[in-house]
Amino acid sequence: MTASAGRSARSLAEDLEAHLKSRRSSVIDLLRSVWPWRRDEGASRWQSIDIAKAFADGTAWYEDFEYAHARDVFRAASGLDPRSPVLLAWVSRTAQLVKADDEATETADRAVSLLTSQTPRVDTLFVRAVAAEVRRDAAAAETFYRELTRERPDDPTWAMELGGFLDRQTRNADAVTVYHSVLSVNDRLLRPQLELCRMYSPSRLNEPVEARKYGEAAQRGYAAAGARAGEAQSLLCLTDTLAVGTNDERNLALAHAETAREIFNELRYDYSAARAEYYLALIAGTRGQFTESIAIGERALSLAEKAGNAPARAIILLNLGAAQVSVGNYPAGADDYLQAYKLYQSWRDEARAAQMQANRGSMLIEHGGPEEGVRDVRNALAVFERLGDRRFQTFCLRALATYYRNQGRLDDATRELNRGLAIARERNLADNVTVMTTLLALTQFDSGDYDSARGSLLDALKGGTGRRSTEARIRLARTYIYLGDLQAADSALQLGEAL
């Protein structure tokens, strides 16, 4: 073996060791806390080992994002040791993630009731953190999570739990800071790199270069370590980042999603496979293949229901609603949006519920219920402004502009579009800039200002790609016709056909 090959082998071993460290330390902690208590009660040592094994299996499913399986295994472990507050806390945590809120609350309350003065401090802090989060006492939960990180500064488990809590609170920038702090201690850990990919994705902080950097690093690390579930999760994160990019990037996103689906199917990870199917449906939609998107989306919805993946059900319904609207099936689209809205409302997820409200309102504005639609959009916009969700702010402003344009109030439409463009350019939301600039051109066209419409469409084409760019070129050709420049109109159409 050459020196370089030896270094590679050592590097791989170190990567794998870092990947497994937090899981192993948690299992050892449980063994230390369970074994003495069981011995005092006269229980078999093997029963303690069974509990620890079940806990290890649960954390393995948890780390692989298979939360429904993790909950089942933690339930089984808790059945073996019904007096363990830690096991009940993990049941609560995983129940929360699969949106089984009643179970999450009930098991958290039971876990707190089992705490005593003899319970190790780390266990007490974790149980109280989980319980406070389930009870929606975010301030108390954060205090307990941060105390955990101070109690065990060298164990990445608790910093990752703090980051996950901040993520669930939609405090994306704070979560990023925590994940970077974990990497500053050990830059070989893979999970924080995957989480940073998610945090930097277009649906979060919208920093695609950073998202891709961390996603690719996580994917390489998981693949080298033979951790196939982590590799597939990294591919899905990269899919999320690339799906809104250029044609080449969308093609790569499709390949990543297909590979992730294959891995999940081989592992029989239906919970995660539903998400892979969702991304395949999403990419089909971005390509204008709406019938195919609906077919894949319905398959994804069925799989999510079977696997108990309630969060995926909601996002799949959103995508299905958009695809149904795109093919003109407005009642089905409205029903999908409404189902998703009810799910998010039942989970008290204000941001997602507002997204459903905005999508349904936008559809009503254009297809049969403009006054109801504009009320929904305004209500949703107020939520997005408070939460700082720039992407959906621009969506709502675009919907309001459409309402005003349909009402013949072109100055009001122009005002809302310019507001949206300022936000989209500030946050580098390239696709939104293309769409809104195109809509601004349509408004200018309707007012008879063809020269300004031409300028806006040319601006839209500077950063536009794919179907959006093709639509802009068709609009540009029509504008050239009104300006009397038939040759330029023909050139625009030819370029549109070539895309």
Cβ atoms of residues 440 and 475 within 8 Å:
no
Helix axes 156-168, 191-199, angle to 10 degrees: 20
What integer pLDDT is reported at residue 6 of this predicted model?
A: 35
Domain boundary among 167, 185, 203: 185
Q: Does residue 111 lie in a domain region?
A: yes
What integer pLDDT is reported at residue 475 of this predicted model?
A: 73
What integer pLDDT is reported at residue 213 of this predicted model?
A: 97
Domain boundary among 170, 185, 200: 185
Cβ atoms of residues 442 and 478 within 8 Å:
no
pLDDT band per the 50, 70, 90 thresholds, residue 168 = very high
pLDDT band per the 50, 70, 90 thresholds, residue 56 = confident
Question: What is the rounded distance in angstroms from the CA atom of residue 45 to the CA atom of residue 43?
Answer: 7
Q: Does residue 213 lie in a domain region?
A: no
What integer pLDDT is reported at residue 490 of this predicted model?
A: 67
Question: What is the rounded distance in angstroms from the CA atom of residue 248 to the CA atom of residue 251?
Answer: 5
What integer pLDDT is reported at residue 27 of this predicted model?
A: 43
Whether the per-residue pLDDT at 89 is higher than 70: the answer is yes
Q: Does residue 446 lie in a domain region?
A: yes
CA angle in degrees (0–180, nearest 5) for 488-494-495: 90
Left (φ > 0), alpha (ψ -120 to 50) or beta: where does 409 sit? Answer: beta
Q: What is the pLDDT of residues 285-333, one digit of tens each?
A: 988 899 999 999 999 999 999 999 999 999 999 999 999 999 999 989 9
What integer pLDDT is reported at residue 414 of this predicted model?
A: 85
Q: Which domain holds residue 483?
A: 435-499
Q: Does residue 356 lie in a domain region?
A: no
What integer pLDDT is reported at residue 177 of this predicted model?
A: 97
Q: What is the pLDDT of residues 29-49, one digit of tens each?
A: 544 444 344 444 444 544 677
Q: Does residue 449 lie in a domain region?
A: yes
CA angle in degrees (0–180, nearest 5) for 291-469-352: 60
C-alpha torsion sign, points 364, 365, 366, 367: positive
pTM above 0.85, yes or no: no
Mean pLDDT of 101-119: 96
Q: Does residue 251 lie in a domain region?
A: no
Q: What is the pLDDT of residues 408-447, one digit of tens each?
A: 898 888 898 888 888 888 877 777 777 777 777 777 777 7
Question: What is the rounded distance in angstroms from the CA atom of residue 236 to the CA atom of residue 264?
Answer: 11
> What CATH number is attached to the domain comprising 118?
1.25.40.10
Among 292, 232, 295, 218, which residue's Cα sits nearest to residue 265? 232
Whether the per-residue pLDDT at 7 is higher than 80: the answer is no
Q: Does residue 121 lie in a domain region?
A: yes
How many domains is the chain partitioned into structurally? 2
Mean pLDDT of 191-209: 93
pLDDT band per the 50, 70, 90 thresholds, residue 468 = low
Provide CB contacts within 8 A for 117, sequence distance 6+. none
Mean pLDDT of 199-217: 93
Q: Does residue 24 lie in a domain region?
A: yes
